[in-house]
Amino acid sequence: MMYEIMTPAEAKALGGLTLAFFGDSVYEVYVREQIVKLGTMPVDKLHKKAVQYVNAGFQSYAYDVIADELTEEETEIFKRGRNATGNNVPRSSNPKDYRRATGMEALFGYLYLTGQNDRIKELFEKIYTSERT
C-alpha cells in the first residue's frame, strides 16, 4: 500500500514523539540497507553492525555531523523531538544522547512523511560516511 505524502502542516501537527516513533524505523531501514550492501554474512553480524549506528550515542553524534546542514525548519523539528516530554530514558543510555537521538528520529520521520526522501538520503550519506564508526 502506498502512503500519501503529508503536507508540512499535517506532519507538524503530529507530536515530537510520534514523529520519532515513526522516524526510528525510517532511520533503521537506511542503516540496514547499507549493511546488507556489504554482502552476505551471518545475521548476528548484521545485527551487531546495525547496532553500531542504531543507538542513542551514535544518533546523538550523527546530529553533530549534520547540524550545520539543517534548515531552520529541520532544526525546529529536531528540537521538537529532542524536547518532547513523556520520553523515559533507559538506564543504559545517557539522557542527553537519548534526547538528541529522539530529535534525530523525529527529523527522519518528518522528512519521510513529507516526501523528502532525497533529503533523507543526503543527510544519511553524511552520517553513514562520517569518521566515528
Q: 29 with 112: CB under 8 angstroms?
A: no
Q: Is 24 a catalytic residue?
A: yes
Identity (one letter) of the amino acid at 20? A
Place of cell 549534520: 66
Name the active-site residue from 24, 64, 68, 97.
24
Q: 99 with 89: CB under 8 angstroms?
A: yes
Q: CA-CA distance, 78 to 107, in Å (whole number)? A: 5
For 96, half-sphere exposure in the C-beta direction (CA atoms, 13 angstrom radius) is 3
List residues with catalytic annotation.
24
